[in-house]
Structure 1
Amino acid sequence: MTVVTRFAPSPTGFLHVGGARTALYSWLYAKSQGGKFVLRIEDTDIERSTQEAIDAILEGMQWLGLEWDSGPFYQTKRFERYNQVIDQLLLEGKAYKCFMPAAELDAIREEQMNKGEKPRYPGTWRDRTDHPEGQPFAIRFKTPQTGSVIVKDHIRGNIEIANTELDDLIIRRSDGVPTYNFCVVIDDWDMDITHVVRGEDHINNTPRQINILQALGAPIPEYAHVSMILGDDGKKLSKRHGAVSVMQYRDDGYLPQALLNYLVRLGWSHGDQEIFSLDEMIKLFDLDSIGQSASAFNTDKLVWLNQHYIRSLPVSEVAGYAKWHFAEQGIDLSQGPALEDVIAVQAERVKNLKELAQISRYFYEDYEEFDADAAKKHLRPVAKDALVAVQAKLAALTQWNTQTIHDAINQAAEDLGVGMGKVGMPLRVAVTGSGNSPSLDATLNLLKPEQIEQRINKALEYIAIRANS
């Protein structure tokens, strides 16, 4: 048997963190078993489904690197197939026409709840043949009235539900549109899905879907219902906890490798290991190792992982993702050093790629103003001699590299008889506009000598104005 899994989001919004984890688990299981991963867009909710949401889902999956082997399939393009099977069930007496108006059903359910009973359709039209002509009707599936359904769940073990707990499910509404629970069944059957990985909110749907599969003589997939993700306050993850959209994490400067590593550990574990490459995830992942408990999202842990990947991934790989952030902040990378070289000196200093772009702007364009606090502290009249001296030393260099730059700064300090900081800090503020940067020799090495001379002159002008004010 070839393992076939699927991710089947509804395009009514962005790809959220919970959906991304479900997609990851489904993708990993398919890959770990040498199987196939299917992407299906469940867009039967026509009023709420949008092309914008579809695009957001596809973009999120592609950014995460969760490429699908077949699809995306769209349920709205398969109505003819669904209706064909519904007509077959009607002919076989496994489904029936229900003419009960919505208002009548609402009244019955309200009365049931007032009596403390479970609200349910009472089967009024299940065996009737006195169908009124010209009246709208829905199609309901004839749920078995005896026995039970056993859901074999990789995460929760066997879940048994008595059929008496289930009413006759509508499989096509009176407007002619097949319903979600029915479309899912036919899709999983037609697409040879062997393992369904989805959220625990689908547990109540599963026995209904199994009954339909059995009525069709179709194979029953194996199931794994994943627990929800909570915020760090123990409540359901939502916007109040920060980003919940996958692409918001991209916008906030996270690497997909960090988010995938974080998501895989929200419910699954392999010993005490925290950091997993994608290859390790594929090799080690197992549905039976997913825990039942809800997982709490911890942003600090994600930040830590993001820092790890910024520092440990090949610089060229980080640069591939970082380019988007530089472009987003209007920084022209053609006007400065290779981005890979900037990342090499900045990686230890940042938490995310957005911050990387923010603090690296001076490599690609002149700053407009000095950081007020840094200039007040370090660009004082007493710093003039140090800047003039180091400017001369740097201008005299015939070779431009970190070692010669380091030696020039040291020599300037020695000639003046001052400590390295007395030269280094004014120079850092002059060159970068602020009091923070990588080591001076590495920073200056990535800039052109003429840029450095111009920026020192700018600092000297600032000092002169300050001295005369």
Structure 2
Amino acid sequence: MFHVGGARSALYNWAVARQSSGKFVLRIEDTDTARNKPEWIDGIINALAAIGISETDPAFEGPYFQSQNADRHREAAQQLHAAGRAYYCDCTREQVQERTGSQQLGYDGFCRERGLEYTEGRALRFRTPDEGATVVVDLIRGEPSFPNSAIEDFVIARGDGSPVFLIANVVDDLDEGITQVIRGEEHLSNTPKQQLLWQALGAEPPAWAHLPVIVNEKRQKLSKRRDKVALEDYLAEGFLPAAMTNYLMLLGWGPGDDVELRPYDELEQRFRVEDVNTSPAFFDIKKLTAFNGEYVRGLPLGEFIEACRPWLRAPYAGWAPEDFDQAAWEALAPHAQTRLAVLSDITANVDFMFLKEPVEDEASWAKAMKDGSDALLKTARANLESADWTRPESLKEAVLAAGEEHGLKLGKAQAPVRVAVTGRTVGLPLFESLEILGKERTLARIDAALAKLAG
């Protein structure tokens, strides 16, 4: 599944690529066969498309597959060996630990001057400079410096000759003409090693930009084991792609004014990677939900009706397909649109219309059906029987009069009616809902509630 952090990184890369008339490169790093399945690749492409990063856009390039460039990775590793920038090592981890007396210290350089040639089982290590420091010029973080003495001679090819990710990543960037690398800050620790490889291969490193980590309400880094992090999960819940895109763009960056709700094109024009913050970005689901509600209310009614379609059929809907009434749904839609925060909420708001009987929500029943509710319902039913069902105001007047007769204000009087008819204490405007449901079904449900109260 596509992590929301990856989605944010993609959007920032996309903005920079489009601003500069450049290319956004999608590369599938597929050398780990256990984590490589075609359907997962399709999932990445579909998730990117959902947030506006489409294969059909001229700025999109790829997907490339790292596994298809394996020969170049091997060639680069051998180029470094031939130039004296890498050497073969036959040390085991246990031998290194025995020499250093620690499981924490890195490789001690034991094989640096032994002049070993390759045989099966010997890894190829990069020869890190002994002195000085590797300075990473980061568009967000300034110029963090890493003492070379703290960077071990790291492996670039395994004992079977296969290159490791570090060099594969650098070679792919070189071959694909990557000029800017915008990624999460968890990759910063690898950057000095990659920069050394770029330089050793005779190339100018790209511009680096490491984005702040995204955290949850406890200020812990978002984790797929603990938090909801998949973009697909949010879309499946009914968060609109435009709202997700808007919100993700603001995780660590702002447009420089107090206006947060903006179409992506405006955000793209204003975005500057140099203005991204370094402090952790809080993934506030409440704020995201509020964003989404604004976007839902801003949809043209026809688009809203169509957008809700997935949640009005199985597996979300609890009613049979033949019980769905499109005309009734279209009549309810204007009332629903002003109340929804996420589209999946539509099911609970309109199910009373399409279920043969309202849901049995015992908590709602207990809250609304107090002593005297049966008398109130009887009076309300009698008033509704003679009301004008072409006007919601007439239905409201009928319930209001019933409440006054029993010493109740409208809010208290309508609660038993709402629960009797919809099964819930909250929902769409009651009297408009009753009008659309119709007189016969409304009165039958009130009768059923009276029977239950009598029982």
Give the TM-score range, shorter chain. 0.7 to 0.9
TM-score by length of structure 2 reads 0.83
Q: Which of the residues 241, 244, 268 maps onto 2:253?
A: 268
1:337 maps to which residue? 326
Please state how far the C-alpha of 1:441 moved relative to its aligned partner: 4.6
1:349 matches 2:354: no
Please state how far the C-alpha of 1:425 moved relative to its aligned partner: 5.6
1:5 maps to which residue? none
2:10 maps to which residue? 23
Equivalences for residues 168-317 of structure 1 within 5 A: 168-238=153-223, 242-269=227-254, 270-317=256-303
- CA deviation vs aligned residue, 1:158-183 (integer Å, no higher than 9, x gap): 22334333232211111333211111
The alpha-carbon distance between structure 1 residues 323 and 242, as it changes in their structure 2 partners (threshold 3 A), is farther
User: What amino acid does structure 2 have at the position aligned with 1:194?
Assistant: T
2:422 maps to which residue? 432
* Alpha-carbon separation, structure 1, partners of 2:197 and 2:36: 25
- In the alignment, is the contact (CA less than 8 A) between 2:392 and 2:435 conserved in 1? no
* Alpha-carbon separation, structure 1, partners of 2:331 and 2:86: 67
- In the alignment, is the contact (CA less than 8 A) between 1:141 and 1:169 conserved in 2? yes
* Alpha-carbon separation, structure 2, partners of 1:219 and 1:343: 57
- CA deviation vs aligned residue, 1:87-117 (integer Å, no higher than 9, x gap): 333344433332223332343454485xxxx
* Alpha-carbon separation, structure 1, partners of 2:302 and 2:129: 59
SS in 2 for 1:380: helix
SS in 2 for 1:204: helix
1:128 maps to which residue? 114
- CA deviation vs aligned residue, 1:182-233 (integer Å, no higher than 9, x gap): 1110111111111111111212211211221222223421111112122222
CA RMSD across the alignment: 3.4
Which region of structure 1 is more displaced relative to structure 2, 298-307 or 221-230?
298-307
- In the alignment, is the contact (CA less than 8 A) between 1:379 and 1:429 conserved in 2? no
The alpha-carbon distance between structure 1 residues 441 and 135, as it changes in their structure 2 partners (threshold 3 A), is closer
1:33 matches 2:33: no
User: What amino acid does structure 2 have at the position aligned with 1:337?
Assistant: Q
* Alpha-carbon separation, structure 2, partners of 1:416 and 1:166: 81
Please state how far the C-alpha of 1:373 moved relative to its aligned partner: 3.4
2:392 maps to which residue? 406
- In the alignment, is the contact (CA less than 8 A) between 1:409 and 1:423 conserved in 2? no
User: What amino acid does structure 2 have at the position aligned with 1:40?
Assistant: R
- In the alignment, is the contact (CA less than 8 A) between 1:262 and 1:305 conserved in 2? yes
Aligned residues: 438
2:377 maps to which residue? 383
- In the alignment, is the contact (CA less than 8 A) between 1:82 and 1:186 conserved in 2? yes
The alpha-carbon distance between structure 1 residues 60 and 383, as it changes in their structure 2 partners (threshold 3 A), is same
Please state how far the C-alpha of 1:56 moved relative to its aligned partner: 4.6
User: What amino acid does structure 1 have at the position aligned with 2:441?
Assistant: Q
- In the alignment, is the contact (CA less than 8 A) between 1:150 and 1:207 conserved in 2? yes
1:443 maps to which residue? 433
Please state how far the C-alpha of 1:50 moved relative to its aligned partner: 5.2
- CA deviation vs aligned residue, 1:443-464 (integer Å, no higher than 9, x gap): 24544x4xx4134223224425
* Alpha-carbon separation, structure 2, partners of 1:187 and 1:72: 12
The alpha-carbon distance between structure 1 residues 315 and 183, as it changes in their structure 2 partners (threshold 3 A), is farther
- In the alignment, is the contact (CA less than 8 A) between 1:409 and 1:424 conserved in 2? no
The alpha-carbon distance between structure 1 residues 341 and 42, as it changes in their structure 2 partners (threshold 3 A), is farther
SS in 2 for 1:362: helix
* Alpha-carbon separation, structure 1, partners of 2:433 and 2:442: 13
Q: Which of the residues 98, 105, 120 maps onto 1:107?
A: 98
1:367 maps to which residue? 357
Gaps of 5+ in 1: 1-13, 114-118, 398-403
* Alpha-carbon separation, structure 2, partners of 1:82 and 1:28: 30
* Alpha-carbon separation, structure 1, partners of 2:453 and 2:143: 78
2:74 maps to which residue? 83
Which region of structure 1 is more displaced relative to structure 2, 289-298 or 336-345?
336-345
* Alpha-carbon separation, structure 1, partners of 2:200 and 2:402: 92
Please state how far the C-alpha of 1:291 moved relative to its aligned partner: 0.9
1:456 maps to which residue? 443
User: What amino acid does structure 2 have at the position aligned with 1:37?
Assistant: F
1:160 maps to which residue? 145
Please state how far the C-alpha of 1:369 moved relative to its aligned partner: 4.7
Please state how far the C-alpha of 1:287 moved relative to its aligned partner: 0.3
Q: Percent identity?
A: 33
The alpha-carbon distance between structure 1 residues 341 and 89, as it changes in their structure 2 partners (threshold 3 A), is farther
User: What amino acid does structure 1 have at the position aligned with 2:15?
Assistant: L
